[in-house]
Every structure is written in C-alpha cells, then in structure tokens.
C-alpha cells in the first residue's frame, strides 16, 4: 500500500508524509489513485491547508464512492470549516460511528446541543447496539429539556448495558424531568449501587431538588455527597450554596471555606462566600472574594452587582456605581440595577 511505502521506505511518520515529493510522484503517475488523493488531502489538512485538502478529499470520494476513510477525512475537514451539514452527510455515508461519537462529544463540550442531537442520532443509527451513542444523545436531549426523547435514549442504553451507572443516572434525570419522581429515585438508587464514586449521583439528586426549590431535601443529598467523599469540591460548594439560599449564611460560610480550601482558584465558592459575608455585615472581608470573582468572570452581572453592594455597604459609592453600571451593560433590562444607579445619582 502507498501508506506503507511512504512510511517505511522513506521513514516518514504521522500525516507529514502526505506532502512529500515521492507522494507527488505517485499522483503524477496515477492522478485517480484514491489512496494517494486521500493521503494528500489528510496531509494538507494536517498542515492547516483545509480548502486545498478538501479539494483532494472530494476528488477521492468522487472517484471511490465506497472509500469510507476518504469520506471520514472529508467530513472532518467540513466540520473544521463549519460546514456541519456536509460533514454529517459524509459521516453518515462513511458509516463511521467512532467519528460520529467524537464529534458528538465535541459539540456537547461546545454547548452546540441542537447540532449534537443530530450527530448523536447518526451515531446510534450507525451502531445501534452500542450504549455510548444513546447516552450522549440522552444528555443532549436533557440539556434541551426534551425529557421524553431523553427517556427513550437512556432506556435503550440501560437495555444494552444494565450495569452502566451513567445510563441509570441519565434515565433518572429524564424521569425526574417528567415528574415521575419515584421512578427517578429508583433509577438513581441503581446508579449508586453501580458507581465507584456515588457522590456524583448524590449531587445530581441534590441539584434536582434545588432546582425545584426544595432546599431541605437538596441539603440532605448534598450531605450524603460530602459523607461519601469529603474531598469533593462540588459537594461542599453545593452545600454552601443551598445553605445561602436558605438564609443560613453562618453554615454556608463554613462549607464554602471548605470548598475553597480544596480548590482555591474556583470562582463560584468565592462569589457565594463573599455574598454571605456581605449579608452578615462583613463587607470589608467580602470584598476580596467578590473582587476575585469579578476578575475571573468579568461578564457575570450578578457578581458585579454583589461587589457593588459590598462597596456601597462600606460607603464606597463611586466604586459601587461603577460595578452597577458595568452589570447593567451586561443585563440592560435589569430594573433593580437601574434603580440602584438612580439612587446613587439622587434621581
């Protein structure tokens, strides 16, 4: 094969061999050689010359319609260039489930959930007997609040692999979204029995109750997460946040300080700790935590408003006004922020 010749005889590695003189010779002798076209397209894409790589890969696909490797390479180039519909079509024609799965994860990480649903759908069509595609598809449906569709995807994953805790976890989330609470808790119990680190499930259940503003139940589950693993930052963070929401700032401060001890650079714990300190009239201590939060996340209007409140409590009206104005620019329809600014202007 051409790949072997170029790599073994010439000693090249990876995709860099694809734009060498010997490779060009292969194409000159046989311009319709699909392998040569594919490798040249791969190499050009690897070097960042995507449009030129696309040209050779398209030619390879046109000449050898059943060449899955060329179609997969072309799909990846299309995807890189933002031509998602074309990429999905090539993945589908290549029947390249691993490629679908990779891109599905990538889209989920990039919060492109609608695109992820489409690509994950192709994944399960390509390999209907593998759980991974169904789990990712279910997660995409959950984020978009399509709970019935998520239920179908996770149910299929559970049937394919009954001992996969993540499938039961996702199925529980879908059931919870449909207000089938008892069934959801049953699935989460199964997930706990299968998971090596059950705090993830406890946190999920706590979050589910917190979103319904059942803070007491949320606290119970967050405590289970802490007891399961007292070194888990998220467990202490969520326990602190739900305590703040219950106006229990004394305990919230203790929990949030534990979270910060575990991960000093995480912004959420600092923000809520700063807010709690402000609530108990310790604004001079709160400011350092809130300033850090705004520095790390300057586009968060809520954090800027909290910092403004702390400045105002200390009589720093100019600094407070500056933060309120910055927050209002981020949330122009926020009437509370406008009222605070008006008050400082004496309006």
- Among 162, 159, 209, CA closest to 184: 209
pLDDT at 15: 43
Q: What is the pLDDT along the chain (347 residues), one digit of tens a residue?
A: 334 433 333 333 444 444 445 555 556 667 787 777 888 888 888 778 888 888 888 988 888 887 777 887 888 888 788 887 787 777 767 665 556 666 777 777 777 778 778 777 776 777 778 888 889 889 889 989 999 999 999 999 999 999 999 999 999 999 999 999 999 999 999 999 999 889 999 999 999 999 999 999 999 999 999 999 999 999 999 999 999 999 999 999 999 999 999 999 999 999 999 999 999 999 999 999 999 999 999 999 999 999 999 999 999 999 999 999 999 999 999 999 999 999 998 76
Return the axis-axis angle of helices 97-109 and 131-143, rounded to nearest 10°. 30
Return the axis-axis angle of helices 233-245 and 267-279, rounded to nearest 10°. 30
Architecture of domain 1-93: Alpha Horseshoe (1.25)
Q: What's the DSSP call for residue 31?
A: T
Q: Which CATH superfamily is domain 197-264 in?
A: Tetratricopeptide repeat domain (1.25.40.10)
Task: Report the chain's C-alpha Rg in angstroms.
Answer: 27
Q: Taking a C-beta distance cutoff of 8 angstroms, is the pair 132, 120 a contact?
A: no
> Class of 96-194 per CATH?
mainly alpha
> Is the full-model pTM beyond 0.95?
no
pLDDT at 9: 33
Q: Which two tokens stand for residue 246?
A: 């219950």
Q: What are the boundaries of each domain within the chain? A: 1-93, 96-194, 197-264
pLDDT at 39: 81
pLDDT at 88: 72
pLDDT at 22: 55
Establish whether domains 1-93 and 96-194 are of one fold: yes
């Amino acid at each position: 094969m051409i790949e072997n010749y170029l790599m073994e005889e010439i000693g090249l590695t990876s995709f860099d061999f694809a734009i060498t003189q010997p490779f060009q010779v292969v194409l000159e002798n046989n311009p319709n050689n699909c392998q040569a076209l594919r490798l040249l397209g791969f190499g050009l894409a690897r070097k960042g010359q995507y449009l030129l790589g696309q040209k050779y890969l398209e030619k390879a696909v046109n000449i050898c319609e059943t060449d899955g490797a060329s179609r997969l390479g072309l799909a990846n180039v299309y995807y890189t260039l933002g031509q998602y519909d074309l990429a999905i079509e090539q993945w589908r024609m290549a029947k390249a489930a691993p490629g679908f799965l990779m891109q599905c994860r990538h889209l989920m990480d990039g919060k492109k959930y609608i695109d992820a649903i489409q690509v994950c759908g192709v994944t399960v069509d390509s390999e209907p007997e593998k759980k991974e595609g169904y789990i990712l598809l279910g997660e995409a449906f959950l984020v978009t609040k399509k709970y019935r569709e998520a239920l179908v995807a996770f149910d299929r994953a559970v049937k394919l692999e009954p001992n996969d805790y993540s499938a039961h976890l996702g199925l529980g989330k879908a059931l919870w979204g449909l207000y089938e609470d008892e069934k959801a808790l049953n699935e989460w119990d199964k997930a706990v029995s299968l998971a090596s680190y059950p705090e993830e499930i406890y946190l999920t259940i706590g979050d589910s109750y917190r979103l319904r503003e059942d803070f007491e139940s949320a606290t119970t589950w967050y405590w289970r997460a802490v007891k399961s693993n007292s070194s888990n930052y998220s467990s202490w963070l969520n326990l602190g946040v739900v305590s703040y929401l219950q106006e229990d700032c004394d305990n919230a401060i203790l929990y949030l300080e534990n979270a910060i001890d575990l991960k000093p650079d995480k912004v959420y714990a600092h923000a809520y700790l700063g807010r709690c300190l402000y609530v108990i009239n310790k604004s001079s201590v709160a400011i350092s935590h809130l300033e850090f939060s705004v520095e790390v996340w300057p586009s968060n209007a809520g954090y800027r408003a909290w910092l403004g409140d702390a400045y105002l409590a200390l009589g720093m009206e100019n600094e407070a006004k500056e933060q309120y104005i910055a927050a209002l620019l981020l949330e122009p329809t926020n009437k509370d922020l406008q009222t605070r600014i008006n008050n400082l202007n004496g309006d």
